[in-house]
Structure 1
């Protein structure tokens, strides 16, 4: 029978990638070979340091995976305790460094008044010591005292989930040179975000993807006026907001004619609103997501007729519309032979756009 010592390095590395960070570090003390493997750059490219609740008891989950990011609705933090900055500093100095490409962490907002916070010094060190860091995802973190200039300048993707941030981040004037490489921004339940901050996103000229989730202070007028200055966007998702689907599609069709991907909640969607899609000749992927289905919701046949006006459309996804039966999918697939048609039930988490 084979023993761990008989396994090739590639197999051991795959096994180690499933270990929590704490256990992996302990594993490095077993022998010189395992220490060498734990130090392998492959293990530290994508690090997940989020914390969550398991079986009614809160504990930390410190997982780093190299074969993709295992992030999704089932791993959302629920008032967890935060990892101590001392531990973060140790991981930063000893293991991550230039190896790190993406980092996910959080739990700094609901841990109590004495909870450790993400400091500007720690985030600046992250930028200095991790020159290859491209993606940063922060959950339930208080960043209200953190200037945007503290974030690593190499970031191409920034995700903020249930965070408190300084709204100066999204105004045009201060810190105009911050995040020069930013291409994708996710704002999920950032409570103070509103119209003037949406307009301020024009300060990021490289921005190509924008996700607005639960940003209930953004108005239809604000979205329409902001998209005039964000015509370079290629992906837009508007989920769980107070905006109607019709008004969103009209604004997108008027100002984002080059958009490639659109995903939105279908509340307030009608056949008249679908006409706006005809002004999006470059659209390649369209996702309409429930569960806010109204009586005015277009029929499958009406959706087919509209999609036929978009020559580049290749993916049509309908989620949570109550059309999981074969008939709706048959109509859509038969009418759109050039498209991949996906009809799914409503997911447990309707805001799972990061999947």
Structure 2
């Protein structure tokens, strides 16, 4: 048999030891290559290995991730150096404005004056909503503004309840609101405002309790709007004009709760005066019906006294038709405390000296133009319990009574209360 067909076990280099030949066995060659046999390769000639098995046996073992330890010493294992996370800098304990609730912000905004509140409303949408909250605009004083129309338009939409706007120039104004206004007290005395503009405001009012329209041009539509305010307590229409006697009578009948009425020096006829004395609320306690020289007669006084027995303050000044014959009629007013008969020239000084005995409860008497300064002291001696000529201006239903002393505490107030938001010039 040729050499190339020798049996497997007789091939050199496959025996258990080194075989013949100049280079030795395969084992010696593998050791020369510095490779070590592992596993079944050293098991002997009876082991069979496929190429796939060889790849698996010779492939490196998989690496398992080591658990990182945050400490520098490990009791159960080898020392491992781990990276420690950086500590975040703690932010100081500061509360942002955005974190404050609406209720707290409203309490803060409640302390701001009008100009600052308007500036705050331009910061963001939330602050604008809060700055225009109706709880902040309950009382507003716009006295002193040059052009009041735009400001009045915005203030009326905030749900204002007390509005003071005397001596204002309201140009080309027309209130465009659709809902009812919440105004309870309003002073527009001596303002320049067209009847149509005033009507656009008053037709949305039904909760008025105190109203002053002194010196304004009115209309029958405006007087009809006032009839819707059944809670009206004080009404000042002094010096007004432009409305009829029937409209006035209807308004007085509907507003049966009026306690103070100043309707002096209006553009009245005899019919207007009769509309007042025949329809004024029987519960009225303060009434100013002065300035109707020849229109107010003794018969009108009789009707008035019989209808309104609870009058405490009565101003009949500048009624030239009244004489001393009116004293027995006025004596029926048991609660009369303040009587004004200034410039009633048909009442003589001698008749005035008897007023102290006629009116036992009388405290104040105004007789400007009837008594000279030389006779005033003697009149005061006859009536020591009566103060004479103390108040030259009527206070009936006026929101801000006129006073001789400038800078008195009542200045800027409206019906004895100041407004929270006020224009500062």
Class of the TM-score when normalised by the shorter of the 2 chains: 0.5 to 0.7
Task: Sort the Cα spacing of 1:274 and 1:177 in 2 relative to 1 into closer, same or farther, 3 A.
Answer: closer
Number of residue-to-residue matches in the alignment: 276
TM-fit CA distance, 1:255: 2.6
1:42 & 1:317 partners in 2: Cα distance? Answer: 43
**Retained in 1: the 8 A contact 2:240–2:267?**
no
TM-fit CA distance, 1:83: 1.6
2:135 & 2:344 partners in 1: Cα distance? Answer: 45
1:286 & 1:153 partners in 2: Cα distance? Answer: 33
Aligned match for 2:375, one of 302, 319, 327: 327
1:299-340 CA-to-partner distances (Å, cap 9, x unmatched) read 1x422423532333222233x316362631x33433334333
TM-fit CA distance, 1:277: 1.2
1:102-125 CA-to-partner distances (Å, cap 9, x unmatched) read 42246457xxxxx32142x35x66
Residue aligned with 1:141, SS: coil
Matched residue, 1:241: 292
Matched residue, 1:35: none
**Retained in 2: the 8 A contact 1:104–1:137?**
yes
- The yes-or-no answer on 1:144 pairing with 2:191 is no
Task: Kindly report the root-mean-square deviation, in angstroms, between the aligned alpha carbons of the 2 structures.
Answer: 4.2
**Retained in 2: the 8 A contact 1:232–1:256?**
yes
**Retained in 1: the 8 A contact 2:186–2:210?**
yes
Task: Please list every run of 5 or more consecutive structure 1 residues that lacks an aligned counterpart in the other structure.
Answer: 1-15, 30-37, 51-60, 63-80, 110-114
**Retained in 2: the 8 A contact 1:195–1:222?**
yes
Aligned match for 2:361, one of 276, 294, 312: 312
- The yes-or-no answer on 1:117 pairing with 2:117 is no
2:358 & 2:326 partners in 1: Cα distance? Answer: 14
Matched residue, 1:112: none
Residue aligned with 1:210, SS: strand
1:82 & 1:314 partners in 2: Cα distance? Answer: 44
Matched residue, 1:155: 208
Task: Sort the Cα spacing of 1:351 and 1:309 in 2 relative to 1 into closer, same or farther, 3 A.
Answer: closer
Q: Which range moved further: 251-260 or 200-209?
A: 251-260
1:194 & 1:307 partners in 2: Cα distance? Answer: 39
Task: Sort the Cα spacing of 1:333 and 1:164 in 2 relative to 1 into closer, same or farther, 3 A.
Answer: same
2:116 & 2:294 partners in 1: Cα distance? Answer: 46
TM-score, length-normalised on structure 1? 0.62
Task: Sort the Cα spacing of 1:279 and 1:222 in 2 relative to 1 into closer, same or farther, 3 A.
Answer: farther
TM-fit CA distance, 1:167: 0.3
**Retained in 1: the 8 A contact 2:185–2:208?**
yes
1:257 & 1:181 partners in 2: Cα distance? Answer: 21
**Retained in 1: the 8 A contact 2:230–2:255?**
yes
Matched residue, 1:101: 162
**Retained in 2: the 8 A contact 1:48–1:103?**
yes
Aligned match for 2:318, one of 255, 266, 273: 266
1:321 & 1:239 partners in 2: Cα distance? Answer: 14
Residue aligned with 1:286, SS: strand
TM-fit CA distance, 1:240: 2.8
Matched residue, 1:53: none
TM-fit CA distance, 1:202: 0.8
2:331 & 2:306 partners in 1: Cα distance? Answer: 10
Aligned match for 1:256, one of 285, 299, 308: 308
Task: Sort the Cα spacing of 1:45 and 1:317 in 2 relative to 1 into closer, same or farther, 3 A.
Answer: farther
Matched residue, 1:287: 340
**Structure with greater Cα Rg:** 2
**Retained in 2: the 8 A contact 1:108–1:116?**
no
TM-score, length-normalised on structure 2? 0.53
